[in-house]
Every structure is written in C-alpha cells, then in structure tokens.
Chain A
Amino acid sequence: MAGFAAILNRYSTALQISPLVITLTLFLVGPVVVIIILSLWKFDGFMTLDGVWTFKNYIKIFTRSLTVINYLETLKLLAITLFVTFILGFTLAYFLVFDIVKLRTKMLLFLLCVVPFWTSAVIRTVAWIPFLGSEGIINQAIMGIGLSDQPLKFLLFSEFAVLLSYIQIFTLFMMAPLFNVMARINKDLIEAARDNGASSLQILWNIILPLCKPGIAIGAIFVIALVASDFTAIRILGGAKVGTVAASMANQMYNVQYPPAAATGMILLLAVLLLVGGIMRMVDVRRQL
C-alpha cells in the first residue's frame, strides 16, 4: 500500500495530465491526422480515391480568387463580432462586478445570462425569422410608426442577421472570462487610485483595462473559434448568401467532396492558429493564467 502511494506521488503530475492528453490525442490529434491524410488524396468529382496522393487540393486553394473572397468575408464578420462583443461583454462584466454589490445578485444575473443557452441554439436562430422577416415584428413596428413604407429587407437573409445572431450567442463567451478576471482585481488598488483623485475614466483606462488583458485575450480566442467555424447561422439567417470559409467548406462537405473540404479545413485551422498565436504573443496568456 505504501509502495502504491509512493508511485502515485512520484508520477502524480503525469497521472494528472494523462486523462487530458489521452482524450485529446484520441479525439483531436487523431482526427486531425486523418483529415490531413484525407486532404492529400485525390478526388475525381464523385469520390475520394483512397491512397492516391496529390497536392492538387492545396494548389487549388492557393490559385483561385474564391479563397481570398472567403477569407475577407470571414475576417469582416470576425472583426465586427469581436468589436461588438467586446464592448458589450466588457460593459456587462463591469456592471456585474462593480455595480452590483450583493454576490447573490451577481450570481443570479449571471445565471440568467446562461439559461438561454439551454434552449437549443438552432431553435433560437430560427426564432429570429419571425422577428426580422418582411412580415416580422420589427418591420411591422417600423411600418406602423411610419418610419418606412417598405419592409426593410436587409434585416433578414443578410450579413446583418448573421451578425445579430452571433452577437446574441457569443457575447457570453466574451463576458464570462472578463467577469472572471475583473472579479479578481484587488479592490484596494481601485480604492487607492480613487483616494489619490483619479476619475472613474482614469481608473478604467489605467487600472482595470490593463488588468483585464488576459480575459480579453481568452474571450477573443473563444469568439474567433466560434465565428470562424460557424456555418449553421449562415445557412439559416444568411439565406446562404454570405460566403465565409466555413460556409464554403460546409458546402464541399455536404457534397461529399472530402479531400477538397479537408484541405480547406486544414488551411482554416492554420490561419486561425496563426491569429490566436498572434494574440497570445501580445498578451502572454499562458503566463498570466
């Protein structure tokens, strides 16, 4: 028994990290290796030719203009979503941390933000249609007040609708890390600054924001991951008129064009890794964590 405990002790770190490593090796590294292999096989228009190696799938990606268009569109959606979710998420976290005093209320309000996620995102996305459609609530209201005599068509089946649903669903992922980080800011720091005559704005800019950097970084990573790989919202609310990389890849997958889809996906993964790596370089998330 003592020997067993001793072994546990000696290899404790290895034992502690192994469940994570094993799970991710099986269900991330493994699949990615499969996908890389798949992306290097030939596709003849109908099916994948197993074992026939080629770089053609990658060459195609780098030699056509569609790639650039798709990435620009993805970046555009990403930039807008990051910006809005940051402003919104930061303000909401600030409110919960600094403006609400009772812990109980903080928890309650936070939970209220989480509960909608237990209603399927698919249903929630579909529910935008009665809201934004030509005969939907918003248009009825606008025409009723007389702001316009034609329904606003851009509200639905457009980038606007997709962005709206992104902001609705992804703000929480920006807010939660910020909430976490803000709550741990030492209140004494703020007190001291205030005592020295700093205004709220100065405190915000010089103390709170810098200390929130790891939270901002993590939130950004979450949002990037979610936006870059979404295609469901684009299908349902974009009227399939919005062309991001993920949407193109999904189209290829749906048409059973696995090798081209795999190649598109690998490049996307690489691109996002680079972006995230850049963020982690600016904010040493690993060390701050």
Chain B
Amino acid sequence: MKEIQQKKTKKGLSRRGMLKGTAAVAGLAAGSTIGGFPTIWAQDDLEVRTLGMAVSNMPQLEEMANEALPFKVKQTAASIPDIITRGLNQPKSADLFEPPFMTMRTMWPSGKFQAWDTTKLPEWDQVVDLYKGPGKIWPDAWYGDGQNPSTVGYTSGIDSRDFAKPGSTKWITNHPVLHNADTLGIRPDIIGRPIESWKELINPEFAGRAALVAFPQIGLMDAAMAFQANGEIEYGDKGNMTQEEIDFSIDRLIELKKGDHWRALWSTFNDSVQLMVSGEVVIQSMWSPAVTAVREQGVDCVYQDLKEGYRSWSLGHMIPKHIEGKQLGAVYDYVTWYHSGPAGAFFARQGYYVVTWQNTKKYLPKAEWDFWFEGKPATVDIYSPFGKKMESVGAVRDGGSYKNRMGRIAVWNSVMEENEYLTERWNEFMAS
C-alpha cells in the first residue's frame, strides 16, 4: 500500500508538465526568448548545486528533482555552521544556500547574496503569510517572540543590505522552504504522567535525566521557556534577551548543572536519539526527526504539545550574488518546482511543513493530509517516505493539527543582539 502512495507523488508531476511550466519562468527570469527552450537547457551542461542541511538535501529528494527538471540538480548536506561559513567565505561553491532564518542578520547584510524577485516566482502567492506582511499564518495565530521570519524577509533592492518592512517590496532575501514547531521530547512510558508545561524540563523529579541541545541560542531559549513557565522570570523578549536576562538564565542553568540536573548537552542528532532510546534521559530538547528515529526503534517517545507553545524555526534558499543568466533561471525553476507540491508531500511525511501547503495538499492522499495537517486520527497506517511504518490506524500526530502547532509559536529561533555575550556565558555554563 505504501508503494502506491509513493508512486502517486512521483507520477503526479510529469516531466513534460514541468517543462511547460519552467519555460515560462525561465523566459521571465533569464530575460531570454522562450523559443527552443528544452534544447537550450539540454545543450548547456546546466547544474544547480545546493548546500543545505541533511533534512532538505537527501538522495531521494535529489532524485525527484533530477527527474522533474531538465537540468542537473546536485544536493550536498552540511551542518549549519558549515552552511553559514561556506556561504560567507566560499559563495561560489554552490548555486543555492539553505541557511536557517535565524542566521539572516548575519547572512543578508554580508552582501554576498542577491534578493529574489517575487514577481518572477509563480508560487509566491501560495507561500504562507508567515513570511509576508502579517508575520503569521492565520490571523489568530500567535506572533511569537524573537526574530519572526517576516522581519528579515524583505529588502529594498536586489543587492541592498537592509531589511525592509514586511510585505513592502517585491524583493525577498531568503525564499522560505521549510518550517516546523519544536518542543520537548519525552518518554511517556518512563514518566508515567501527563506533561503539560515547559517547566517540567527543570522539574527536580527529572534530575539527572534531562538534557538540552548544545547550541547556545536554541538551548538557552528552551531553558527560558522552562524558567518563564515556572514563574521564575518574565522575559521581555525571549528571542532577544538583555544581559541581565541572560545572566539570570545562565546562572540558573549553572545552578542546575551543579545539582547534576543535566545528563548531557547534545550536539549531534545521534546523541539526542541515543539518550532517549537508552532511557538515560526522559525529557529533553529535541528535534522532530529524532523523535521519529526513537519511535522507529520501538521506543515510546512523544513530541509533547505544551501549553506555553512551541519554539519554531524556518529555513530557506538564498542565491549567491554571482549567479546570473541561464544559471539564475535554473535556480528560479528549481525553487518553483520545490514549491509545486511533490517535495511538499515528501517533507510532510517526515513531519515538516513546506511553506506552500495548498500545493502540498494536492499531492498528499486525503488520509495522509488529515493525519499530518488536520491532526485527525489516522484512518490508514502511516508510512515514512522511506517505507517505514510510523503510526497505526487511530494514532494522532503529536501536537495535532498544523494550526495547533504553527499557530502557537511562543518564540522563534533567533540570534540575539547580545549574541557574543550569550556565547561567552554559555561557554561558562559548559565549563562549570
């Protein structure tokens, strides 16, 4: 049954259909005439090389792209620091970079990238309002602390270095690709009672069995959610703290560390899975695919919906400055294909959301759409894109619907103004 589901997405967008679509875009973007379109691409050894995180650069996706597009696509995976460093220092080493939105204050003003012209992106209308003027997907959604993606999404010209008011121009700095809502992962079987609040992360009941992610910005924000939920402090902006707020948080973290509260700080995905599977940790910062990996090994793990909301992140495509002409056209085509639906379905099945949900909906069978987006109990067994069974009939997605998760963002992954101070104090936390 899973084979049928997978074949459907592949057949969904035929190569010819894609060619027709890209012809129009290519013409617009490259400024060239449309005539002889397929042959032009075929003659040039055109290739789009992307550098991004492993979540969005994997063999199956690369294969899908290569089948659908008339030019070659090569995806390379790298860690976040590598993406940033390479983007800033070796911009010619890729045609598209996929940094997370939280790095935009570093990436965009560097002047190494060019803006996207939204009038040349056919799928831009389908991109959710989170990245546009409103800064949220639904009118009644939470806006969230920290760096809302819309605030770093717009700019005044193709090679300016500023950030314009959301929705005010046609130039965007980073074409959003994916987003998701993060929360704490728990072992419900070991904990044995309902967990409803972020404050449980620092609950002495779990001393020695809690963990945090080792990235300073993210780890600190998870901790901040816990401290605020516990009533210890009220932050002005959890995503942009003052030195006093940072001091308070780090001092509390050190205090907890001295009390042996933290089993570990994990810096690789692998560690976070291991900690959960072995039961060494029962509550921790976690990423969605890690929860899946733990479950795949038959261990009970829940990505817990908490009443204070979620911490959210987003990543997207940035074009290095030097890309032009046919290459630029190919890049626009790639991104257009990316948001036309099939990739959306691929990611949805892993628990992520591509930013153009209406197109994704076209490529997901209704039963799966209901499970992943509507938060309804599964009416069929749910499989990952790699053929592994994830959920049985009747299961409900952790956190429920798209709206319940992405509509309740408490804080965005951000780089704060006091970033340097934060890193220093975080180093102290590590050394204590």
Contact = CB atoms under 8 A, between A and B. Distances in A.
Contacts of A143: none
A256 B420 contact: no
B88 A256 contact: yes
Contacts, number: 110
B186 interface: no
Nearest to A65: B428
Contacts of B217: 255
Contact of A242 (B215, B268, B430): B430
A241 B279 contact: no
Interface residues of B, number: 43
Interface in A204-247: 235-236, 239-244, 247
B81 A253 contact: yes
Given A66-B427, A66-B431, A243-B430, A260 B274 contact: no
A153 interface: yes
Contacts of A65: 428
Given A256-B81, A257-B423, A47 B110 contact: yes
A4 interface: no
Instruction: Point out which of A65, A235, A247 has the most chain B C-beta atoms below 10 A from its C-beta.
Output: A235
B321 to A, nearest CB: 16
Given A240-B266, A256-B88, A46 B423 contact: no
Contacts of A43: 420
A142 B193 CA distance: 31
B427 to A, nearest CB: 4
Interface string A58-70: 0010001110011
Given A47-B106, A133-B280, A239-B266, A251 B216 contact: yes
A255 B216 contact: yes
Contacts of B84: 256
A126 interface: yes
Given A69-B431, A242-B430, A157 B264 contact: yes
A252 B265 contact: no
Contact of B419 (A45, A64, A134): A45
Contacts of B105: 46-47
Contacts of B428: 65-66, 69, 243
Interface string A163-204: 000000000000000000000000000000000000000000
Contact of A134 (B85, B268, B278, B430): B278
A241 to B, nearest CB: 6
A254 interface: yes
B420 A257 contact: yes
Interface in B230-274: 257, 262-268, 270-271, 274
Instruction: Point out which of B88, B217, B428 has the most chain A C-beta atoms below 10 A from its C-beta.
Output: B428
Nearest to B415: A46
B280 A134 contact: yes
Interface string A245-288: 00110011111110010000000000000000000000000000
A129 interface: yes
A251 B426 contact: yes
Contacts of A254: 80-81, 215
Given A45-B418, A239-B265, A256-B84, A248 B431 contact: yes
Contact of A247 (B103, B262, B264, B430): B430
Nearest to A135: B278
A223 B208 CA distance: 33
A interface residue count range (under 10 / 10 to 19 / 20 to 34 / 35 or more)? 35 or more
A235 B268 contact: yes
Contacts of B267: 235-236, 240
A251 B208 contact: no
Given A46-B105, A70-B431, A241-B265, A135 B423 contact: no
A251 B264 contact: no
Nearest to B427: A248
A251 B214 CA distance: 9
Contacts of A46: 105-106, 109, 415, 417, 419
Given A135-B278, A157-B263, A251 B110 contact: no
A243 B423 contact: no
Nearest to A264: B427
Interface string B307-326: 00000000000000000000
B270 A126 contact: yes
Contacts of A135: 278-280
Interface string B403-419: 00000000000011111
A40 B416 CA distance: 23
B297 interface: no
Contacts of A251: 216, 423, 426-427, 430
B202 to A, nearest CB: 17
A241 B85 contact: no
A122 to B, nearest CB: 10
Contacts of B262: 241
B424 interface: yes
B43 interface: no
B278 A239 contact: no
B39 interface: no
A65 B427 CA distance: 11
Given A69-B431, A239-B264, A240-B267, A45 B214 contact: no
Contacts of B257: 241
B420 A45 contact: yes
Contacts of B416: 45
Interface of B: 80-81, 84-85, 88, 103, 105-106, 109-110, 208, 214-217, 257, 262-268, 270-271, 274, 278-280, 415-420, 423-424, 426-428, 430-432
Given A46-B106, A252-B423, A256-B88, 12 more contacts: A46-B419, A66-B424, A66-B427, A153-B208, A153-B263, A236-B268, A243-B427, A247-B430, A248-B430, A251-B423, A255-B419, A257-B420
26 contacts: A43-B420, A45-B417, A46-B415, A46-B417, A47-B109, A69-B428, A126-B270, A133-B280, A134-B278, A134-B280, A153-B208, A157-B263, A157-B264, A235-B268, A240-B266, A241-B265, A242-B430, A243-B427, A243-B431, A248-B431, A251-B426, A251-B427, A252-B427, A255-B217, A255-B419, A257-B423
> Which 7 pairs between the two chains have the least Cβ-Cβ distance?
A243-B431, A239-B264, A240-B265, A240-B214, A157-B264, A254-B81, A248-B427
